[in-house]
Structure 1
């Protein structure tokens, strides 16, 4: 069985976004390939999740030695999947020189890409904006949304949504404590009977949430549980991150904001194409504008119909085909 070596990192400081999406990709192809995962100093959470899907964990140093250590573990016939912003063209070349096929996952278009396949699921990048080799295949936009296997299950679209319920999450760390800000607004509005908040290990503001009623907090739950929460909720409040793809793939009335520069482009795309209702930068959001927009999104059933046209489960086939074609 041909081996795929996945390489991404995650921890309390940087979050688990890259880690979760590459592990989700591994889950899509584990029946046809031998999946191995390489990461710097994995946490107990990471090891537990990797061992559910992959046959081996390669533990790399959490210093500059990890670059060479990773190269030393590669075989000439491996398929390598890189997911981080610091893998420049010189490092891509070193992997190619080992004889490996290379898939690079990136949310930007700021490098010289010498990989065999570039997956960039951020919508809106023009094809011609990428500097690449003639042989490099570009897999761009929502047709290659990096969703976990569970989010391709159509059963979640059949679950009836509960009125006056909210699902929300602002990343595993939520460094700006947007959770408290939004909860303050929601409590003042007093419209919602259930509010479900997903957080991660890196969230440090638990005491600030103890004052809120109707708030249920979830941490380190599996993808089925996340999908069920999303499917049941009347409104989803999320950033323009991987959570956006997950909520849209199920079909949700999404209230969308951003708090990082790399979230602005997908934010604009979803708002401009009537796939979400936008509230701008969470960090500068005020109550009156939030109230106006949440009342708008509650009436916006058209969002779900538009999302179904974009997320018609073609991503499952498209992502698997990337590996088969190599």
Structure 2
């Protein structure tokens, strides 16, 4: 049995697709399943070490003869997916918002409340909802979160690029006495030198950290402030009370559903006027109320237990075995 994982990342795309595919890679490795792992990467990878994938423009290649293909893409079109389904035994399409009409196979959408989405159930087997969200291996076995009565540490992260420079804008709003602030800057942040020079005394500023370091920062933070992508599920798994920013249109549904679930109280769209007022209202709400932080923490861990990647790997293996019998 042999499979392949196909995804993309880098400048203009970020690392969200790559991170969830790494988690599926780790789950397959744990099951000793042979597979290739290709990433169509835009940018410089020098700052990222020990990657488990090959950088290759797989969209220009003919992917044929695999037992399974896992694809996580916003760039590949419907015809490309149809060719994958035609030329390989099992296609697993990772989706976030019903981007295209997917061909026969599995559709995986681990987004919050994705089990309410109207996928074609006749053509596809759907793996929907946070039960199946693939998280990096260090987030697989997080215990029940214990919170501090008072806020002592605040953690900020806004993705690989942070196109709106929220790192600097939010930092300026929350510098408070007796609160330790840690900011993680992504590898493609265009203002990182300026931020480090200006704020290195007010905050601990980190770059190029490992998944384990990211997990530990979340576990020690009393409040996290983040962009609304894949990181939201890691924050939920660690039970970290969070404030989330919508920084892309494709995050809107995810954010609205986290609000419905109770993990956040408001969706902060960075492109609306006076977003700062809405942000400070949420920040003060969490800063002043232990009970509110405890409630949000419990909601996050109720929805995300970290076992999604293992469940997906099991589903793929069971499907292929049943087809062989």
TM-score category (smaller protein) = 0.7 to 0.9
Q: Superposition pairs for residues 11-50 of structure 1, below 5 Å? A: 11-32=10-31, 33-40=33-40, 43-45=44-46, 48-50=49-51
The answer to whether the 8 Å contact 2:19/2:135 transfers is no
**Who is 1:136 aligned against?**
124
Matched residue of 2:188: which SS?
coil
Structure 1: unaligned runs, 5 residues or longer: none
**Who is 1:196 aligned against?**
182
Q: Superposition pairs for residues 118-129 of structure 1, below 5 Å? A: 118-125=107-114, 127=116, 129=118
Cα distance change, pair 317–9 in 1 and its aligned pair in 2 (3 A): closer
TM-score (norm 1): 0.85
Cα distance change, pair 70–235 in 1 and its aligned pair in 2 (3 A): farther
TM-score (norm 2): 0.86
After TM superposition, the structure 1 stretch with the greater mean CA deviation from structure 2, 153-162 or 308-317, is: 153-162
**Who is 2:323 aligned against?**
none
The answer to whether the 8 Å contact 1:114/1:133 transfers is no
Q: Does 1:215 align with 2:203?
A: yes
The answer to whether the 8 Å contact 1:164/1:191 transfers is no
**Who is 1:170 aligned against?**
158
Q: Superposition pairs for residues 293-312 of structure 1, below 5 Å? A: 293-298=282-287, 299=289, 300=292, 301-312=294-305
Structure 2: unaligned runs, 5 residues or longer: 320-325
**Bigger RCO (CA 8 Å, 6+ sep):** 2
Matched residue of 1:50: which SS?
coil
Cα distance change, pair 247–162 in 1 and its aligned pair in 2 (3 A): farther
Aligned residues: 310
Taking the aligned partners of 1:50 and 1:115, their CA distance within structure 2 comes to 31
CA deviation string 1:193-219 (max 9, x = no partner): 211112221101024423223312222
Give the drift of 1:231.
Answer: 0.2
Taking the aligned partners of 2:261 and 2:188, their CA distance within structure 1 comes to 33
Taking the aligned partners of 1:311 and 1:174, their CA distance within structure 2 comes to 25
Give the drift of 1:83.
Answer: 0.7
User: Where does structure 1 differ by over 4 angstroms across 4 or more consecutive aligned residues?
Assistant: 125-128, 158-162
